[in-house]
Every structure is written in structure tokens, then in C-alpha cells.
Structure 1
Amino acid sequence: MAAKRAGSILVGVAALTGASMAHATGFASLKGIIENDHHPVAGAQVALSELNRSVVTGKDGTYELEGVEPGNYNLVVSADGQSPMQRQVMLHAGQTIEQDVELGSAAKTLQALKVTAQTTPLDMARSIQQEAPNLVNVQPATEIRKLPDVNAAEAVRRIPGISLESDTGEGRFINIRGLDADLNGATFDGVRLPPTNPASPMGGGRAVAFDSIPTGLIGAITVTKTNTPDQDAEALGGTIEITPKQVPPGKDQFLELELGTGLESLRDTPIKDYQVSGGSRFGPGNAFSFIGTLAYYEDKRGVDDIEGSYADDQANGTPDKVMNDFEQRRYQYHRRRIGYGGELNYQPDDDNRWYVRYFKAGYTESVNRQRLTYNMFGGGTGSVTADPSNPKGFIDPNVTYDKTLRDERETIATRVASIGGENHFHDFNIDYLLAATYGTYNKPHDYNSTFANPNTYTVAYDNISDPRYPRFNPLNGNPLDPSAYTLSDFQNSTEHDHTQEYTGAFNVTIPTCWFEGGDENVKFGISARKKDRHSEITSFNAVPPALPMTQFIGGKPVTFYDGHYQNGYNLYAAGLRDLYVNNQGLFPEANPLADQQAEAQGASNGKESVYAVYGQYQFKPVEKLDILAGVRWERTVGAYGGNEVLLDPNTGAFAGATPISVGHSYNNFFPTVQLRYEFAESLIGARSTPRPLPVRASTSSPPRR
């Protein structure tokens, strides 16, 4: 707007000295040629969005805008079958600026988004969705930053058709149109991301935990709900693509800085949210560019939780709603998430680009869980009576209490390294890449300490009058007295999971003109992925010394859950941890064979090699109808290992383990046909095969010991 006001002043001054001079010196002109893969594009709309002015290209693809006020403008080019292309132009008074635009680099694939990444305006993102031959949704960083989403999962959930699974107060796993997260694919600039958190919702271990990726690394998010043959068939549910930030077109350098803070009100703990991104073009003709990104987020979130279970023993005369146990849980988390990376580009002209890229993202989280457990209904064999003073209450005469502490720490990390390029020739385009990805989950300790109270209490409770807040009233004694508790159980476990994958891909796109439409092309390619995964755990259950709980408490008794419950004194995590680490002789292993069996059962490994060939054809046979048809063939060769547990035939105890490996290979064909029909400019109909249809031939090898 400032540029437009400046132009108005120039017109006013020039009018005093002569109208002809104003026309000669006060305005600028813009002209150029619009091409698609080096062929002129007729009928394309060329607009300066700030002025709401536009022209249409002629048969030779040329356009001209005259009498434009000087200033900076967004030049937007729209053509049939193409995603809009945006360029920044600067117009000076009395000058004619030539700006040619090549639409071939704005094909309706992820490459269109890579051109502008975080600077993609919302209207262009929506246009990409509208013009795509398949079902996609695009969320640029310009929209992501409008909401307080701290990780990639929370940003993706804003997209229609997405559901979110959360843990520890943050979004983690993504479901696309109701399908399990293990069936989705996740890519970072086209490179498949490995799984990190092994605890996926349905236990498949293939889902990507998106809470490890900070939003500061994201230039744009694209969710593909109907995959095309050029995408991995492993993503049966859909693909979530995270595009990193790029140096914006038309700019030689940029710097983005974000400093944020806040307060977790439940515990009055601070939030730290820092992000910085910057980049610059350099070298002869600004052919080189580099961008670096750093994002850091830290919080100390508290969670108050109550959980209970019911006896469900009505068949034996037990009243409905009688409880089997009740837990008061007070969590304190401390999460530090960091992501950083950089990309070096070499682009000597519009037809050639090469890049090398590295990014790492992840978090370290510690958990402190203070839990008070009511062991009710005699462990499932007890009895209760109705409370004579409360028709909705019960009296349980055999309630015991435990006080437990969980002290755990885990680290999740994802690394992506890639090198690749793209080249546009007169009759065809190619792109290629080599990449390595690594996903790790490391849990160095998970201490669980239990202090038992040997006394039995009679408790009156009412969980019917207000089921949100069940009320408990001990009728004899004080179950919160710390002197009544002694250390009765101590456990520790560790876990390490590592997945690494190496990828190579080569694609060829050939523009064709057998039908009408500017985005007709044949595309084919090959790819190979080699994945290696292993997992191992340790388990340790001890017979601890019977130490009084009073040695490991501090502070004041805790009242939590908005003042509804008393949880007693918090246990001192560092004191219990130091006691075990420095005095392991006091913690003899309770059952070494059982721990060894758990470790043998928890160890696994796997290797997979996936080879793929695909071909697809995108065309417009008649006006308003777009068709994308193709097929993908994948061959998977895998070997999956674990342990065969041996048990003593007399005692049933663990007697050893034998490593075992099973080989499996199979071929899959994934044909697809996707239709898009434009009923009106604002009404698009789409139809596709419900999901890829596999035609499988497989072979398996017998177990190898």
C-alpha cells in the first residue's frame, strides 16, 4: 500500500507540469512470455494481485501490463491445468520490466509447493488442492504459524479428514480418514521418514511419531489421501509430506525470528519457544543458496489424572458400580524438543538444480509420576455393603493402599540426509535423489518404586452422585500417613530401538500433447529402499530393602485435581535413583530367569529391501475432465528375526533362547485410476479406486535357527 500511495503523489506532482510528462515518467510497464516446458502458453491469466489488474496471454504466450504505478507486486500466473505461479516483481517509474515465467516447474505435484514453501499464500495452497488430479490438502507455514501448534502432529490435525492421537498432553500419531497410523506414510521433502516411538496405537511399530518434529522446521504440509503410482505403496492410508523451508523466490536473503513464552497454569511452569530461520543467495549470478533452521521448545507440563476400574461382578450379587481399584496420578513432565538443519542449493538457471540437505529433530522427556492406589474389593474376591447413610454409596471393609513413583527418561530422534537434483530438458524432465534416514528411541532408565501400607482400612465411597469426582472417606485411620509405608518393590527397564533406511530414486516426466490441457504428461521411475531395524530391552525386578517411606519424601502433602484429592507427600526421585545406583547390592534380583525371558522375548530385528517400478499418465480427454491412471509394482524381500524361548519341561521356567529368522518375499501390483471433473469453478468432483488393489505372489523361507 505504501508503494501505491507513493505512485499517487507522483501523479499529482506531474500533473502540475504536464500530463504527457506524467505518462512518460510516472508509470512502469511489465511484459514477458509465459511458457510451459519451453512451449508458449496461450490464454494464461497474468495478474498483479495488489492492483486487481490482469491480462490474458496471446497465441505466442506474450503479455504486457502498461501504466502500472511503481512499487513491489506479486505477479500471479494462472493457466488451465496448472497451479498458479507467483513471482515478486519490482517496478520503477519510466521503465519497462521483462518477466518471463516458466510453468513447467509448477507441476501439480509437491514440486509446486517446494518453489515457494513457507511463503505460499493460502489462495495458492487452495488452488493446488483444487487443481490436483488426486485428493490432497495443503497447509503452508503462513497458516501454521497462526495457531499455537508446537509440533507437526498438531499442525496436521487442522486438515479435514485427519484425526489425532495424543499422549503426555501433545498430539503424536495421525490417522487419515480413520485408518490406523501404521498404514500411513510420512516423508520429509520426498524422503520416507522412519518410525521412532515403538508404541504405535495398534502395535504395528511403523507409525511416525510427529510430536518429535517442531513446527519451526516446516515450510508446508501436504496430505495426500489418494496416492498416485509415484508414491510408496506402503502408505495405504495416505501420505503426509513435510516440506522444509526454502529461500523465498525473488529474495536474495531472509531472516525469520520467533521468541515465544508462556505458562502452564496447572503447575505454574514456564514455556520456552524459540525459532530462527535464515538464508541467502550467493555466488556468480546468485546461483547458490543456503538456508538454516533452528527450533527449540521446552515445557514442564503437569497432568492431574484419576483412573478407576469396576468389579463387574453383578452375576454373583455384587451391586453395579462397585469399584475394583482407584488410582490418583499426579504427573510432572519435562520435555525439550529441538530441531535443526540446513540445505545448500545450486541452481544456475531455471532448468537445473542440485541440492544437499540434512535435518535432525527429536526430543528428550523425563516423567515423574506420583501415584496413590486404592486396592479395593479384596482384589476381585471381596465384598461390599451399601452405605446406610448414603443410598448411592458403598462401604468396602478391606481397602489397602500403595504409593508408587515412576521415574523415566526417553529420547526420540529422527535424522534425514539427502542429495539430489532435477533437470529440465527440451522434451523431458528428470529428478533423482539418494537419501539416508535414521530413527531412534532410547530409554536409559525406567525406575518404578512401590511403597506398601500393610494396614487394612474401611472406606466409604460414592462414585454415583458425581461420577466426575468419586468421593472416598476412610473410616478408621489415616492411609496418607507416610510412616505406615515401606519399600516393597523396585523395578527398572531399558529399551533401545533403531531404524535406518537408505533410499535411491530416479523419475522421468515427459510432457505430451495428445489431448487438450497444459499439464498432460507421462511419468515413470524406479526406486529402491533398504531398511534395517533392531530392538532390545532389559528388565530388572528386585527384592528391595524394606526402607521406610519417610526417608524419601519432601515438601508438603499434595492436594491436586482442582482441590478434590489428597495424594500425600511426593516421593523424592533423585534419592531413590541414587540409592539404587550406588548400592546395587541392596537390590538382589527377584527372579533372574523371568527377567532373562522378558529380555529374550523383547529382542527383535528385521531387514527389508523394497524395489519399485511405476508408470502413470495424466491427461484431459475432454474439457473439464482430468484422468490420472497408472500402476506401481513393488517387490519386497525381508528377513525378520527374534528369539525362540525355551522352557524347562518340568518347572516351566526359562531355560534359554535360540535366535530365529524367517525370510519372506512378495510382489505387489498397485493399479489406480483417478478422475477429476470440474462441474463449476467452485465445485469439483473426484473419483478414485478406494485404495490400491494388490495382486500378490509371495514366497517364504522356513525359520533359520
Structure 2
Amino acid sequence: MKNDARTARRLVLPLTALATAIISINAAADDSSASMETVQVTAQAANARSDIDRQRHSNKVVAVQTADAIGELPDANVTEALQRMPGVFIARDQGEGRFVGVRGIDPSLNATTISGMSLPAPEADTRAVALDVIPSDLLASLEVSKTLTPDMSADSIGGAIEIKSLNALDHDGSAYKIGVENSYSDLQGEHSPKLAAKFTNVFELDGGRQLGLAIAASHQQRNFGSENEETDGVWERMQAEDGSEAFGAPEIEQRDYTITRERTGLAANLDFRLSDTGKLYLHSLYSDFSDDEERQRNEYKLDKGDLQTITASSATWSDARIKKSLKDRYEEQKILSVIAGGEHDLDLWGLEYALGYSRAEENEPNRRDTAFQQKGLEIGYTSAGRTPDLFASDSAAATDPSRYGLDEIVVENNFTDDEEVSFRLDLRRDLQLAGNQTELKFGVQQRNREKTGDLNATTYDGFGGDYTLADFAMRRVDYGLAAFGPGVDKGALNRFISANRANFTVDETATALDSARDYVMDEDVTALYAMHTIEFDRANLVYGLRYEKTDFSADGNRVIESGAPIAGAEQVAEGVYVSGESYQRDYNDLFPSVNFKYDLTDNVVLRAAYTESLSRPSFGKLNPSAKEIEYDDGELKVEAGNPALDPYEAQNFDLSAEYYTDRVGMFSVGVFHKAIDNFVVTADVTASTDLTQYVGSLVVDDAEILRPINGDTATLTGAELSWTQGFDNGLLLRANATVSDSEADLGLGAGAGRSSKIALPSQSDLVGNFIIGYERDAFSLRLSTSFTGERLVAVNSEDAALDSYQDSHMQVDLSAKYRFANGLKLSFSGVNLNDEPLYIENSGYNGQYEKYGPTYVLGLSYSTF
């Protein structure tokens, strides 16, 4: 029995070939006249039909987008292409989509694979793969599975994202495409070029064998930026010296970012068809992503002064400080994935195998953070809300660069590496059971993963002289949210550091604290599974059991800033002691699953599924080394990991009905329920933390300890609707929405200062898309709207008013294309046309407000596909 994937492929290929086809039907009316009827199958309609048919014939609940369908949208990378699927939303960085979430669930709770093998993550703090490093030009299709079968990794509570790369055997003969683009950032006034190309060829060999070669490459240099105002910490209730009381902020920052991002993607795939029953393949993907960031920042350090008076919308501090700082950071991320394998049909038996190697690394060389400081200022704000209006009573002093003394320079060299070797072997056997065609499949999978971090920072607090910002001042910072004052000239500062660094004085304590964050984490997963598929007359049943054994170990450092020696710890600087921190645990899990599909009629498909899954906490949350320890005059701030975290565990229920029209049309409605144990949330755990583990016997007057903890239980219940309809006049409408509701229990117990019930962290109650497409002759147009509802992003274990939420986000994008008869295509896109910002708040007060502006893209391509 052939599996569903092969069946779906045979259905998809002829539909894809129709993408630009025009079928002409000639009929003679009589001897003297003739009439012609032309039926045009538009590219948009054919691509929609291809996606729909892949979904219809799957034995799971899935959403699919082929490369041709992605090409109709204004999406530059895999992340932004995925956001158009039902139930899918994206998390953005500097306005660009980076991480993908499914059904409103945190992006770190998804599994991501390419050609069946998992992808590692270059970032230090997350398992979520930033799919923006993979250009959309390099893929054949995207598939998001919302229910799992036993032959899939169980590491997925949200969804399993499968990236299928180019396969030359899906095309006939030789074909190529080359394209150029230029994008324009309206906020920064910068242009960004892009070049992409792909080539496929099929070589006919002796004995009917075929060798397919597919090569794709893409390079983009994007120049853009953002403007930001954010609060360091949260707004909390404060009492002023005059007795007034209201919510106030400890520190408010103004930030201006200027960024150059470069993306280079390469894919080279070999597919060798031995016969109708066997093939071999070698697929490779390389991605190089760099981010050159310059950040100008004003830090209004309000809580370093004395609060004189405060209202709900204004406050004044005396003897406070302003810091002006520059972050000069170049970061490079690389992902390499190589997969070799084969598939063979051996009469009643089938064999599949694959060996994969993946590596992701992030390198941050010679990062420089420089701060200038002025003390003794009377400062505050005259309005609160989304963007507080900041003021200084003596504005002349606050904007005088000569009054800002050079306070600190930090030079960092950081490197993280995520490496995985994986192997899978699958056997299947065709059987007859009570007259029904069935398939028994079983196999073994092994994944060995190692995540390492080598973090090094040197802090300088003496510079051989009394330097001020006037020695390095940049008079104008292009910042539109408010008056910014002078900034830091990067060139002048870097020349100074290069010429004088050997004479700087090292802050031994800060350097020791920041450089003791190294870690090594190993995670080995061994999996066995058995799966049975039964084909009834109008139904399909897939059920089975998966076993996974996880071996986890973590090695890091425990750092203590103390006035007295610490037993068993090594002194690395005056008052700083370090001891090794190791953790190891093994756990075993069984994951039953059932997927049932029933063709009620030729047009109606019913589905039901029960699956169990887990999601392992991110490596950043498992890190035994504290990410940050700051102690200053009795004030302690710690951001730490927790290697003892249990993995999320979930029971997942799905019911859905799908209606398919004879033309380009589909309507589906589904409901789902997830019961989740051990969900993870970052919480302020100061009240329950022994502070001596960070400061020994030092006196602590005020502390904030942030650490991930396991909550108790959580539930997520929702409904998912999707609609696609094509019309004879070339109009295509697509809409989808996922509505969900969640409740999680922090497990605080009796006597807690707040309710233990919260929404599931990072879960959005509403995720939706609406797309209007139109195609007539050579012209096509798409207007796309994506919406992600409010979601909880940070929890305070003592006061619900201090919880932080990310505001709802709605973005409007436009794509227009004109296809010339000779294969040329002219395209125009507008991204974030409504200038939607990012906003995070607590109790209605600013947490982060960031503005990106719209981007416009003009492109030209030539294709023989």
C-alpha cells in the first residue's frame, strides 16, 4: 500500500502544472461561423487547489502551502509565509517575523523539521527555530500538522512544522528562475537589495534511472530600523515623599535602532530514482544570517533618585540620573543541515532510512556597550500610557553632552552552538485485514543533541582620563517619538577604544559575574514506535504507540557575590566566587495516538483525533548558569534558569468537519482541547528564594529574582474555522480564524497574594487571516490581513496587576504582480501598510512600544518553471 504522502504528491503535481495553463475549447457552430470558449485557470486558483487537495488527502489535521502559493504573497521568508495558515501566528523581532506559533501557543512548543529531520536553534534562550533565516525561495512546500501520528516526534504541543525542500524530480527536464528586488524602509529611508535564483535539472540514466539536481540561492541585505520606548521592569505602586501614591516606573528608556541584516541561503539537493520502487537522496541547506545593530539609548533611571510627587499620569524624581548609551553589536547565525537517506518498496514490505546532521551557531564578536551618565537631575514624566512623555526640569543640562561622564565600556565575545546527529529507520508491511487494505509501520529514531554557550564579557570603568559624551557626541539622532538629544558617535568611540583599550581599568567584579555564564547541555532522545493504518471503503484509521526516552544533562556555574569566602567555591575576583553546577535526569514517556478520517460524502470529510505529546523546556530556561546577576548598594536583580524543570505534557483532542466544493472552494470547522501539565512560566520568585545563594552574607534591601517555574495544570480549548472560495471572475477569498480560551494554575497554594489562575503564557485568544486575491489575464493582486490577539508574556507571582501583556497586533500587506508572456514577472509589495507597532503593557502602562513603519518592495523575475 502506498502511503498518503506519495498519493498526495501524485495529485499535487498535475495541479501545480496548471498554475499558468490556459485551456481553450473550440467548437464549430456551423459551416460559416465558429465560436471559442476560453476557460482560464489562474495561478492563484491552481495554487489554492493544490494546497486544499494536500490537506484533504492527509491522514492528519494539517495546513499546507506550496512554494507557488507562497510566491503569491508578500513574504520574504518561511516565518512570514507560515503566518497565512489557519491557526498560525508569528512572533516578530524588529518588525520581521522570526518565530512561529500554532493555535495561539508559544512558538517554543512546536517541532520544526526539514525533509523529516529536526532543525536546531542558534539562539541561546529558545528551542524555537527562527525560520526567517530560511528564504522562501528555497522550499517546495510548508506543512503544519496539528495532530500527530506515531511516526512523528512527540515533541510538539502546538504543531509540527515540516519544510519540504526543492526536489528536481517534481519537475520535467531543466528549469530555472532568477529574481531581483529592492525594498524601501519608510521609517529609515533606506533601500535594501535582494537576489534569488533556483535551478533544477533531471538527468536520464541507463535502465530508466533518473538523477535530479536542484540548486537554490538567495541573498538579501536589508537596511532598516525602529523607534522604541520601554520600561525596564514593570509599573508598580509607589509612594512619594509628599504622600501621593500611584503606579510608577522604576526606569524608562528611549531607544533608536539602525540595523543592517544580511541573509544568505543555499540549498543543493540530489534525488536519485533507482526505479519505480526505490530512490536515494542527499539534501543540504545552509543559511547565514547576520545582524549589524546600532542602538542609541536614553535611560531615565528614576528609581535612583527620590520620588517627590506622583499621580496616575505624572511623576517627578529629584537627584535622579540619565544614562546615554550605545550598543554596537554584530551577530551572525549559521544553520547547516545535511540529510541522506532512501526509500524502497520491496513487494509487500517498504523500507525508509535517513541519517542527518544539523548544526546551528550564533557568534557575537567584539560587541561593545558604552554608557555615559549624568547624576543629580530632576526628571520624570508628564503623561503615562503607551508612550510616556519624559522631561528634565533643567533641559539645557539634560541635553549638554559635556555633563555626561564616560561611565562604563563592556566588550563581549559570545558564542553558542547547537549540534544534532539523528538517525531514523522505518519499516512498513502491507496487509489485508477483513478485506481492508492496511499498513503496519514501525521504526526507531535516535537524536543526540548538544547545546553549548561560551560567554565572555570584560567591563571597564577607568579610562585614563575624564572623558565626557562631548568627546564622542553625535548631535542628531533620527528619533520620531520624542526629542532625543545628543547620541554617541560610533566611529569616534571605536577609534578611542582601539587606541586606548590597553590602558583601561577592568572592573574585576562585573567582569567575573558576566563571564561565568558558560554552559554545556546534552539531550539524547531514543524513540520506538508502532503504527497501524487501515483503509476502509470511506474511512481511514491511523493508530499506534510511541515511546521516547530522554537523557538530559547540564553543566554550568553558580556565581556568588559575597563579602566572605564561600566553602567549595573558587574566588575569581574580589568578592566573587564560582563553583561548578551540574544536573542530570532521565525520563521515559509513552504517547498513544488515534487519527480517524471519514468521507461522509464525496464533498464532506469528518476527522477525529486523540494524541499525547510533550514539549521540553527551552535550553535558556534549563540553563544552570544565571543569565544576569546585579548587586548595587543593597539592590539585587537576578535572571536565572532552572535545570530541574519538568517538560510540558499534553493530552490533545480534535474534531473537525471539512466541506470541499467541486471548484476551488473549501470550508472547515474544528474544535480542539488540550490538557497540559507542567507548563512553564517565568515568574518573580523573590519571596521564596534564598538570596544567600547569590550574595552570601551581603545585605539586600530590595531584590527581584526572575526564574522559570513549572505551573500546575493548564487547559486550552478552541475552535478553528477556515474558508477558501474561488470565483469565475478571478476573485479568490481566503479567511481563517482560531478562537481559543485557556486557564492555567500557577500552583501557588493558599495564602498567595494573588489568584493562582492565569491564561496560558503566550497564548492568544484570537488568531486570524483574511486574504483577498484577484487574478485576470497576466495581472494578480493580493491584499492580506493578519491578526494576533493579546497574550500574557510575563507573570508576577505576587501581584496580578504587575503581569505583562502583549497587545493585539493587526498587520495589512499588499502584493501585486504582472506576468509578461516571455516569462518575466514584475512585482510590488507593501508590508505593514497600516504601520502597526509592537506594544507590551501592564495595567495599561508602557512595557514596550516599538514602531517600524511600512516597507515597500519592487521586484523583477524571470522563470521557466
Could you tell me which of 74, 86, 89 is aligned with 1:163?
Answer: 89
Q: Which moves more between the two structures, 314-323 or 184-193?
A: 314-323
TM-superposed CA distance for 1:533, in Å, is 2.2
TM-superposed CA distance for 1:270, in Å, is 0.9
Identical columns (%): 22
Partner of 2:427: 508
Partner of 2:794: none
Partner of 1:225: 146
Q: Is the 8 A contact 2:472 2:493 kept in 1?
A: yes
Are 2:630 and 1:692 equivalent residues in the alignment?
Answer: no
Could you tell me which of 540, 544, 552 is aligned with 2:472?
Answer: 552
Letter in 1 for 2:548: E
Letter in 1 for 2:497: Y
Letter in 1 for 2:63: N
Compared with structure 1, are the counterparts of its residues 515 and 243 closer, same or farther at alpha carbon in structure 2 (3 Å cutoff)?
farther
Partner of 1:142: 68
SS of residue paired to 1:142? helix
Superposition pairs for residues 36-47 of structure 1, below 5 Å? none
TM-superposed CA distance for 1:325, in Å, is 3.5
Letter in 1 for 2:272: Y
SS of residue paired to 2:470? helix
Compared with structure 1, are the counterparts of its residues 449 and 250 closer, same or farther at alpha carbon in structure 2 (3 Å cutoff)?
closer
**Whole-Å Cα distance in 1 between the matches of residues 498 and 588 of structure 2?**
51
Gaps of 5+ in 2: 22-43, 567-573, 616-642, 645-865
Partner of 1:382: 307
Q: Is the 8 A contact 2:308 2:315 kept in 1?
A: no
Q: Is the 8 A contact 2:320 2:375 kept in 1?
A: no
Compared with structure 1, are the counterparts of its residues 547 and 417 closer, same or farther at alpha carbon in structure 2 (3 Å cutoff)?
same
**Whole-Å Cα distance in 1 between the matches of residues 9 and 594 of structure 2?**
20
TM-superposed CA distance for 1:221, in Å, is 0.6
Compared with structure 1, are the counterparts of its residues 160 and 217 closer, same or farther at alpha carbon in structure 2 (3 Å cutoff)?
same
**Whole-Å Cα distance in 2 between the matches of residues 426 and 145 of structure 1?**
39
Q: Is the 8 A contact 1:162 1:177 kept in 2?
A: yes
TM-superposed CA distance for 1:442, in Å, is 1.2
Are 2:442 and 1:521 equivalent residues in the alignment?
Answer: no
**Whole-Å Cα distance in 2 between the matches of residues 350 and 636 of structure 1?**
38
Could you tell me which of 605, 609, 614 is aligned with 2:524?
Answer: 609
Partner of 1:282: 203
CA-to-aligned-CA distance 1:28-58 (integer Å, 9 cap, x gap): xxxxxxxx659xxxxxxxxxxxxxxxxxxxx
Q: Which moves more between the two structures, 165-174 or 477-486?
A: 477-486
Partner of 1:74: none
TM-superposed CA distance for 1:362, in Å, is 2.9
Are 2:454 and 1:540 equivalent residues in the alignment?
Answer: no
Compared with structure 1, are the counterparts of its residues 430 and 685 closer, same or farther at alpha carbon in structure 2 (3 Å cutoff)?
same
Partner of 1:108: none
Partner of 1:574: 491
Letter in 2 for 1:462: T
Superposition pairs for residues 71-110 of structure 1, below 5 Å? 84=11, 86-87=13-14
Could you tell me which of 476, 483, 499 is aligned with 2:418?
Answer: 499
SS of residue paired to 2:49? helix
Partner of 1:258: 179
Letter in 2 for 1:382: L
TM-superposed CA distance for 1:149, in Å, is 1.5
TM-superposed CA distance for 1:323, in Å, is 4.8
Compared with structure 1, are the counterparts of its residues 498 and 287 closer, same or farther at alpha carbon in structure 2 (3 Å cutoff)?
same
CA-to-aligned-CA distance 1:391-425 (integer Å, 9 cap, x gap): 97655554532211111111111101121111122
**Whole-Å Cα distance in 1 between the matches of residues 413 and 588 of structure 2?**
37
Q: Is the 8 A contact 1:541 1:595 kept in 2?
A: yes
Partner of 1:123: 49
**Whole-Å Cα distance in 1 between the matches of residues 256 and 395 of structure 2?**
25
SS of residue paired to 2:542? strand
CA-to-aligned-CA distance 1:292-328 (integer Å, 9 cap, x gap): 1101122111101122464621598434355543322
Letter in 1 for 2:518: A
TM-superposed CA distance for 1:478, in Å, is 4.2
Could you tell me which of 77, 101, 110 is aligned with 1:184?
Answer: 110
**Whole-Å Cα distance in 2 between the matches of residues 515 and 124 of structure 1?**
34
CA-to-aligned-CA distance 1:239-293 (integer Å, 9 cap, x gap): 1111111225351111011211121111111122221000111242561121111
Compared with structure 1, are the counterparts of its residues 322 and 659 closer, same or farther at alpha carbon in structure 2 (3 Å cutoff)?
closer
Compared with structure 1, are the counterparts of its residues 347 and 448 closer, same or farther at alpha carbon in structure 2 (3 Å cutoff)?
same
CA-to-aligned-CA distance 1:177-229 (integer Å, 9 cap, x gap): 233333211111111111211233xxxxx221222222121211111111111
Compared with structure 1, are the counterparts of its residues 197 and 557 closer, same or farther at alpha carbon in structure 2 (3 Å cutoff)?
same
Coordinate RMSD, CA, aligned: 3.3
CA-to-aligned-CA distance 1:116-162 (integer Å, 9 cap, x gap): xx999431321221222211111111111112212211111111112
Partner of 1:618: 533
Q: Is the 8 A contact 1:516 1:620 kept in 2?
A: no
Q: Is the 8 A contact 1:82 1:131 kept in 2?
A: no
Q: Is the 8 A contact 1:153 1:173 kept in 2?
A: yes
TM-superposed CA distance for 1:551, in Å, is 1.9
Are 2:154 and 1:238 equivalent residues in the alignment?
Answer: no
Letter in 2 for 1:612: A
SS of residue paired to 1:691? strand
SS of residue paired to 1:125? helix
Q: Is the 8 A contact 1:229 1:632 kept in 2?
A: yes
Are 2:549 and 1:635 equivalent residues in the alignment?
Answer: yes
Gaps of 5+ in 1: 1-35, 39-76, 91-117, 201-205, 695-701
Compared with structure 1, are the counterparts of its residues 289 and 626 closer, same or farther at alpha carbon in structure 2 (3 Å cutoff)?
closer
**Whole-Å Cα distance in 2 between the matches of residues 402 and 354 of structure 1?**
60
Could you tell me which of 186, 207, 228 is aligned with 1:305?
Answer: 228
Q: Which moves more between the two structures, 498-507 or 662-671?
A: 662-671
CA-to-aligned-CA distance 1:567-603 (integer Å, 9 cap, x gap): 123312233233223322332111x244324433x11
Are 2:324 and 1:406 equivalent residues in the alignment?
Answer: no
TM-superposed CA distance for 1:83, in Å, is 7.1
Number of positions where the alignment pairs a residue of Structure 1 with one of Structure 2: 576
Partner of 2:399: 480
Q: Which moves more between the two structures, 274-283 or 231-240?
A: 231-240
Partner of 2:500: 583
**Whole-Å Cα distance in 2 between the matches of residues 320 and 484 of structure 1?**
32
TM-superposed CA distance for 1:608, in Å, is 2.7
Compared with structure 1, are the counterparts of its residues 286 and 689 closer, same or farther at alpha carbon in structure 2 (3 Å cutoff)?
closer
**Whole-Å Cα distance in 2 between the matches of residues 515 and 130 of structure 1?**
26
Partner of 1:4: none
TM-superposed CA distance for 1:645, in Å, is 4.5
Greater CA radius of gyration, 1 or 2?
Answer: 1
Partner of 1:56: none
Partner of 1:420: 341
Q: Which moves more between the two structures, 301-310 or 145-154?
A: 301-310
TM-superposed CA distance for 1:515, in Å, is 5.3
Letter in 2 for 1:343: N
TM-superposed CA distance for 1:651, in Å, is 5.6
Q: Is the 8 A contact 1:119 1:141 kept in 2?
A: no
SS of residue paired to 1:462? strand
**Whole-Å Cα distance in 1 between the matches of residues 563 and 407 of structure 2?**
32
Partner of 1:665: 586
Q: Is the 8 A contact 1:557 1:566 kept in 2?
A: no
Q: Is the 8 A contact 2:544 2:593 kept in 1?
A: yes
Compared with structure 1, are the counterparts of its residues 322 and 503 closer, same or farther at alpha carbon in structure 2 (3 Å cutoff)?
closer
SS of residue paired to 1:383? strand
**Whole-Å Cα distance in 1 between the matches of residues 605 and 120 of structure 2?**
35
Q: Is the 8 A contact 1:559 1:568 kept in 2?
A: no
Structure-2-length-normalised TM-score? 0.62
Q: Is the 8 A contact 2:151 2:546 kept in 1?
A: yes
Partner of 2:299: 373
Partner of 1:599: 515
**Whole-Å Cα distance in 2 between the matches of residues 393 and 662 of structure 1?**
48
**Whole-Å Cα distance in 2 between the matches of residues 154 and 549 of structure 1?**
41
Q: Is the 8 A contact 1:273 1:297 kept in 2?
A: yes
**Whole-Å Cα distance in 2 between the matches of residues 454 and 329 of structure 1?**
20
Could you tell me which of 234, 258, 262 is aligned with 1:332?
Answer: 258
